[in-house]
Chain A
Amino acid sequence: MKLLSKGAEADLYIAEWYGRKVVIKRRISKVYRNPCLDLRLRASRTVREAENMHEAKKASVPTPIIYLVDKESTTLIMEYIDGLRVKEALGMLDNSQKEKLCEQIGMKVGMLHSTSLIHGDLTTSNMIVCGDKVFFIDFGLSFHSHSDEDKGVDLHLLKRALDSTHYKESRDCLKYILQGYREVSGESYTSKILKKMKEIEYRGRYFSGRT
């Protein structure tokens, strides 16, 4: 078992499991957190992640296969995706490749939303490029919702992740992502969500566009 990365809420290990290369995701207890709260969060997120990762497949969104859910030790065992995080991949692409990737991301987010699945933590660290597919991971904060507000927040978080981490190309990336989203969700629905997104942004502290 080899430590792959220390995420925010879980340790990720690469391991062999019945002949398969797998990722073991263990949500570790946070010493800083009240024990009652800690257990509640870890258990519910472990189950939710497994459920919704599977659910995403129904919306044609690639996710790792879940092999095992252990609620006791708040551990998931899932398929290892051999690829590059979008965070790193973006910097290596030329413009047309970038457009294609971002458009694909937008389409996949649109597909999730069309089945009322909200990812809850859309950042470029949580998407893996593997061949011509983009895998979505980290469904710990995901949930089901039909509301435009929740979909708007989902996209707002993605926009902010781009603005902060990919500030040089965030405008283009977002444009392509929304292009993809629009293709899947349709013009009128997309503009409704975009309006919501703007509204959420303006709700933030000290936005000068706010009236």
Chain B
Amino acid sequence: MKDLLCLGIESTAHTFGAGIVSEDGKIYSDSRDVYIPVIGRGIHPTEAAQHHNIVAPRVILDAFRKADLKPGMIDIIAYSCGPGLGPCLRVGATIARALSTYLCKPLVPVNHAIAHIEIASLNTGAKDPLTVLVSGGHTAIVAYAAGRWRIYGETEDITLGNLLDMFAREVGLPLPGGPEVERLAEMGKIFIDLPYTVKGNDVAYSGLLSAALRKYRDGVDLTDLCFSLQEVAFAMIAEATERSLAHTEKKELLLSGGVAANKRLQGMLESIAREHNVKFYCVDKSLSGDSGVQIAWNGILAYRCGLRIDVEKSLVKSRWRLDQVDIPWRS
């Protein structure tokens, strides 16, 4: 029997991605195209969806070409079912339905957040980690127990990715904001006092965003501000992580999601892991951001447990919390 091959389609937000992964976890291809709004503006859902519509055929064909596979050789079609922006999700879902129908291959819905965690686990070899998922859509500290990923801490307002993006947007930096803020932060020297909000294992970033923007308008040096913003924002999630680690007593710590690419954040969490004698894992930069690969891998995990969906029922769920997803492949 040959290994199952899965095509994963990702379109929750700014990235349209297609990736092919085999049952043994080998990544055959990873093709993406990212919608980038003009400087000073955020993601416009309709514009992003239009972008996805335009690039989709090319991205998918590219995924097959890179993998050196023909569409008929695929066994499973997985699509990002949510959570995310409705118009964007529907582009990926529509294409997945069409491919599934045309190729007569089973269709598997995937939760985008869980897919981030699972690809990070595959990539790093983490078995049962406390996972910090930080991206534009998520800021959550989760661990698996009895059939579900349980949320131990999360943001009570905007996400860490939101914070960096919205700050970058307001001060005229290009999106995604994370890498830009990180670049400028490396040049910052003076620490500026900014509000630090940790509530139990939860964080809240909107107050920090407002305060940082106020400082910017007051003429504070942008590099110092980026430096301080990172220091405070990351220390908050680091503390919440440390609290969750002490509470759950897990032996592994896994950093995943788009913001995982940030070196300063990695350093902070690694330091916590060392302090608590816990093994630290961080997803590779190539797999931290949104991709079809994560959807494909999760598609395989789900399919092997018998999960699939009829095309007629394959609606998208723009609100689909990761703690609402049954995880049969981990039990």
Contact = CB atoms under 8 A, between A and B. Distances in A.
Contacts of B199: 120-121, 141, 153, 157
Contact of B146 (A32, A160, A167, A204): A167
B200 A121 contact: yes
Interface in B263-306: 267-269, 271-272, 275-276
A7 B228 CA distance: 26
B271 A141 contact: no
Nearest to B155: A205
A207 B251 CA distance: 30
A8 B253 CA distance: 14
Interface secondary structure of A, over-half rule: loop
A200 B154 CA distance: 12
A34 B246 contact: no
Interface in A96-154: 120-123, 125, 141, 153
Contacts of A8: 239, 242-243, 245-247
Interface of A: 5-9, 30-34, 36-37, 40-41, 87, 120-123, 125, 141, 153, 157, 160-161, 163-165, 167-168, 200, 203-208, 210
B140 interface: yes
Interface of B: 82-83, 137-140, 143, 145-146, 148, 150-152, 154-157, 159, 191, 193, 196, 198-202, 228, 231-232, 235, 238-239, 242-243, 245-248, 267-269, 271-272, 275-276, 317-321, 323-324
A157 to B, nearest CB: 4
6 contacts: A8-B243, A30-B238, A123-B201, A160-B200, A163-B323, A206-B320
A164 B321 contact: no
Contact of A164 (B151, B155, B157, B198): B151
Contact of A122 (B143, B159, B200, B320): B200
Contacts of A200: 156
